[in-house]
Amino acid sequence: MHKSPQSPTLVSLAGLGYFPLAMVARLPFAMMVIGVLTLVVAARGSVELGGINSAMVGLGTACVGPLIGAAADRFGQRPTLLIAGAVNSVALLLFAWLAYSELPVWAMFVGAFLVGASAPQASPMSRSRLVTLVGDLPVERRPRVMSTTMAYESAVDEAIFVFGPVVVGLLATWFGAGAPVIGAAVLTAIFITLFALHRTSAPAKSAEERAATLAPVSELWRPRLLIVVIGIATVGVLFGSTLTGLTSFMQDRGAVEQAGILYGVMGVGSAIFAIAIAMLPPSFTLRLRWPVCAVMILAGTLLLQTAHDIPRLLASLALMGIGIGPLLVTMYSLGALRSPAGRSATVMTMLGSGIVVGQSAASAITGTAAEQAGTSAALVVPLVAAALALASGIANWFLTPESERRSAH
């Protein structure tokens, strides 16, 4: 049989058009939390109420996100995404109406929960697809391509989560506070549908195929996988607490609207170093990367405690960014490596939900700390998050099985 002289690449397997599509498909998710916050504050005049609704979005994602991933593993991504995208578009439009209605606040909480619960999880689904495609490459190329893929996906997430709030701000400024939520609904309806129908979306498996290829659910609760979920939740805490603490810091200086721009310093640095981590030698194993990156973040949060002016604040954010991007890549790579057979979408949504849970909880806690005890107290929360990230990295060091320790990845 004639063998092609050119072996396939990930780009040739996915198609060049896949990557911009997958990037835009995750933009509505990045707009939801801050879009809901902006809308509620404008419509109901309460920052506290806006924060609670944002937390409800996060709670919805945390509760239902992994179930959407499990449905994708069981029934295929295409039907799962088409249903989730349709429900999410309706939920976003419903919430835009609820915010301006005369209905009580609990109705808004339910609406916000539905927005989060129906979020289509484009980012974890994309990781799951690419992980599957990497398995079609020659064995000797898989470790390097997997590392590069996770680096790319993390960099895209960073860019989208920096760009998402900017889009929300522009839409709200130009068209009113309801525009970001309505815009997210339209983007979801169009791009999640296209993402669902893309040829990389694996078809649903028969009952016989599922029985043969799906690992039992109990394997999702193994300590070596759960420690990755716990670890990535600490990164979510870091995101939420840093942005909220930074907002308080800038509010003290009468320039609260600049908080998002300054936060971008951490996001941009994080994205750059997420890509750079793929260039490091395989001898710098995932097991070792985790605590090393966490120490870098811890150093940044320690510097943050002494930040009394903008230059020092920016220096601390830049130092944190150097560690955050590579740490996310490391955790997603470990998640892919430790995913039970046929459960990659479930694992990736568990990790994505872990970030959202940490972010939502930290935003509420840090906001309360800022209000009750001032900005200095609020800036302690990122330090605690960094310490927890390091502690979970140490735990992972001992939980890593011998087979992984011997492996390049």
Q: Give the amino acid at 345.
A: A
- Residue 321 CA to residue 235 CA, distance in Å, equals 11
The DSSP symbol for 141 reads G
* Residue among 72, 334, 388, 73 nearest 226 (CA): 334
Residues 301 and 395 in one domain: yes
pLDDT in tens, 371-391: 788 888 989 999 999 999 999
Write down which residue in 214, 232, 248 finishes a domain.
214
- Residue 319 CA to residue 311 CA, distance in Å, equals 12
pLDDT in tens, 185-200: 999 999 999 999 998 8
- Residue 349 CA to residue 61 CA, distance in Å, equals 9
Residues 92 and 221 in one domain: no
- Residue 354 CA to residue 195 CA, distance in Å, equals 23
Structure tokens at 14: 């996915």
Residue 143 lies in a domain: yes
Structure tokens at 340: 């039970």
Question: Could you identify the residue written with the tokens 């990389």?
Answer: 200
Question: Could you identify the residue written with the tokens 């920052």?
Answer: 47
Q: Phi and psi (nearest 5°) for 201? A: -75, 110
Residues 200 and 348 in one domain: no
SS3 of residue 46 by DSSP: coil
DSSP letters spanning 371-400: HHH-HHHHTHHHHHHHHHHHHHHHHHHHHS
pLDDT in tens, 96-106: 999 998 899 99
Residues 311 and 404 in one domain: yes
- Residue 97 CA to residue 40 CA, distance in Å, equals 11
Contacts of 13 (CB under 8 A, 6+ apart): 133, 136, 137
- Residue 354 CA to residue 360 CA, distance in Å, equals 10
Residues 50 and 183 in one domain: yes
Chain centroid to Cα 36, Å, comes to: 17
Write down which residue in 182, 214, 246 finishes a domain.
214
Indicate the range of 4-18, 169-183, 210-224, 320-334 predicted with least confidence. 210-224
Residues 198 and 245 in one domain: no
Residue 136 lies in a domain: yes
pLDDT in tens, 257-309: 667 677 778 877 787 887 787 777 777 888 899 999 999 999 999 999 998 88
Residues 209 and 230 in one domain: no
Residues 186 and 225 in one domain: no
pLDDT band, very low/low/confident/very high, at 350 (cuts 50, 70, 90): confident
Residues 224 and 366 in one domain: yes
Question: Could you identify the residue written with the tokens 């942005």?
Answer: 243
Question: Could you identify the residue written with the tokens 């995101």?
Answer: 239
Residues 95 and 180 in one domain: yes
**What is the pTM for the complete model shown?**
0.78
Residues 286 and 185 in one domain: no
The domain of 334 spans 215-409
- Residue 184 CA to residue 316 CA, distance in Å, equals 32
The DSSP symbol for 216 reads P
* Strand residue runs (E) in 286-408: none
Write down which residue in 214, 232, 264 finishes a domain.
214
Residue 127 lies in a domain: yes
Residues 329 and 247 in one domain: yes
Average pLDDT (223-227) is 90
pLDDT on residue 4 = 45
Domain count, the chain: 2
CATH number assigned to the domain comprising residue 239: 1.20.1250.20
Q: What is the mean pLDDT of the chain?
A: 83
